Amino acid sequence: MATNNVVELHGVTRRFGAVAAVDRLSLEVRQGEIMGFLGTNGAGKTTTIKLMLGFTHPDEGTVSILGGAPERPATRRRIGYMPETAYYYPYLNIHELLRFYGGICGMDTATIRARSARLIGRVGLADAGRRLLRHYSKGMLQRAGIAQALLHDPDLLILDEPITGLDPLARIQFRDLLLELRGEGKTIFFSSHELSEAELICDRVAILKHGALVWCGAVHEVAGDGAQNLERIFLRQLGEEVAP
Ligand SMILES: Nc1ncnc2c1ncn2[C@@H]1O[C@H](COP(=O)(O)OP(=O)(O)OP(=O)(O)O)[C@@H](O)[C@H]1O
Ligand SMILES: [Mg+2]
């Protein structure tokens, strides 16, 4: 079946005991788009991402990533992933960290070195390149995580709360980076609690509530006063009152 969907979830349910962390979720991410994945704490965003990566499996439904099962090595190589909370070896610097991950990905040393230098500059860590990760601030670790996710030039980026912890300058740089990557034809899926940021960056957003999809669409296509539309959509979908 010809499709330009990079991610396809059909009727996916993942239970933990009595809790359906993901509840009959059907979702498509199209080639070349930036999709934001929103929801309150515990809505099921991270669990969905783990299902997309093949780290956990659905009790019901199917997950297709880049046309196949997420656990296929050929698929994995095309995915860049940044976890919600990353634990890096504390006694490495960012160059060593990227050399380590590049090696795991099977990249050659020259390519790792060239891409690392560019990415470290791109995420604003050039001046901190020789410092140990154990001395990095939260936002600096976030930046390191973004560089790590991009190292092997993936076609699909899956980022779990990439904006959390970034200062305003880093947010602007991150936004520019995502738009640049989209310009290169990459597909980006990221979870966030930052509605205004998601509204600025995303082509489409999906809103999850108790594991179920309650809204999915393009924010700019929703009629409104042009300001904070996503916030209104979000509150309405969650059944909260919105001030007139
Ligand atoms: N390994 C697990 N064992 C038991 N319950 C789990 C497990 N992982 C997730 N859950 C439960 O599944 C639900 C969804 O959790 P998940 O981490 O996917 O939410 P989230 O949307 O990423 O939240 P947050 O915004 O806080 O990161 C929660 O009720 C959580 O307690
Ligand atoms: Mg989460």
CATH number of the domain that 69 lies in? 3.40.50.300
Q: How much is the average pLDDT of 68-82? A: 93
**Which residues constitute the domain of residue 110?**
88-153
Q: What would the mean pLDDT of 143-157 be, rounded to a whole number?
A: 95
The answer as to whether 83 is a domain residue is: no
Longest Cα–Cα distance in the chain: 58
Residue 21 Cβ contacting ligand 1 at under 6 Å: yes
Task: Report whether pLDDT(222) > 60.
Answer: yes
C-alpha distances in Å from residue 62, one per residue of 8, 26, 27, 57: 8, 9, 11, 9
Mean pLDDT, range 193-216, rounded to an integer: 93
- pLDDT for the residue 210: 96
**Same domain as 179, residue 146:** no
Same structural domain, 186 and 239: yes
Residue 164 and residue 207 in one domain:
yes
Note whether residue 15 is domain-resident: yes
Is the CB of residue 147 less than 8 Å from the CB of residue 125? Answer: yes
Sorted by sequence, the CB contacts under 8 Å of residue 77 that are 6+ apart come out as: 105, 106, 152, 154
34 CB near ligand 1 (under 6 Å): no
Same domain, 103 and 184: no
How many angstroms is it from 2 CA to the middle of ligand 2?
Answer: 32
pLDDT above 90: residue 158: yes
Residue 130 lies in a domain: yes
Residue 221 pLDDT class (50, 70, 90 cuts): confident
- Lowest mean per-residue pLDDT among 26-30, 77-81, 138-142, 158-162: 138-142
- For the chain, what is the domain count? 2
- Does some domain include residue 175? yes
Q: Whose CA is nearest to atom 11 of ligand 1?
A: 21
Is 45 near ligand 1, meaning CB less than 6 Å away? yes
* 129 pLDDT above the threshold of 80: yes
CA 36 / ligand 1 centre spacing (Å): 18
Mean pLDDT of 95-107: 93
Same domain, 18 and 38: yes
Residue-wise DSSP of 203-215: SEEEEEETTEEEE
Please indicate, yes or no, whether residues 70 and 171 belong to a single structural domain of this protein.
yes
pLDDT at 13 over 80: yes
For the CA of 40, the closest atom of ligand 1 is 25
19 lines ligand 1 (CB under 6 A): yes
Same domain as 49, residue 67 = yes
Alpha carbon nearest to ligand 1 atom 26, residue: 41
Residue that finishes a domain, picked among 117, 134, 153: 153
Q: Which residue type occupies 11?
A: G
**Exposure of 154 by Cβ count < 10 A (0-12 exposed, 13-18 middle, 19+ buried)?**
buried
CA of 164 from ligand 1 middle (Å) equals 17
- 237 domain residue, yes or no: yes
- Let me know if residue 35 belongs to a domain: yes
Where among 138, 153, 168 does a domain terminate? 153
- Same-domain status, 148 and 162: no
Place of tokens 């990079």: 6
Same domain, 44 and 97: no
46 Cβ below 6 A of ligand 1: yes
Q: How far apart are CA 112 and CA 95, in angstroms?
A: 9
Please tell me the predicted confidence (pLDDT) of residue 1: 47
3-state secondary structure of 235: helix
Ligand at minimal distance from the CA of 160 is 2
- Same domain assignment for residues 147 and 174: no
Q: Note whether 119 and 237 are same-domain residues.
A: no
Domain-embedded: residue 34: yes
**What percentage of the chain reaches a pLDDT higher than 90?**
72
How many whole angstroms from 39 Cα to the centroid of ligand 2?
Answer: 9
Which residue, of 153, 168, 201, is where some domain finishes?
153
Categorize the per-residue pLDDT at 220 as very low, low, confident or very high, splitting at 50, 70 and 90: confident
How confident is the prediction for the chain on average, in pLDDT? 91
Predicted TM-score (pTM) of this structure? 0.93
Q: Letter for the amino acid at 103?
A: G
Q: For the chain, give me the number of helices (H) and strands (E)?
A: 8, 9
Q: What is the C-alpha separation between 117 and 115, in angstroms, rounded?
A: 6
Instruction: State whether 107 and 227 are in the same domain.
Output: no
Give the Å distance between the CA of 87 and the centre of ligand 1: 19
Q: Is the pLDDT of residue 242 over 60?
A: no
Q: Is residue 194 part of a domain?
A: yes
d(CA 157, CA 191): 11
**Ligand 1 atom 30: residue of nearest CA:** 42
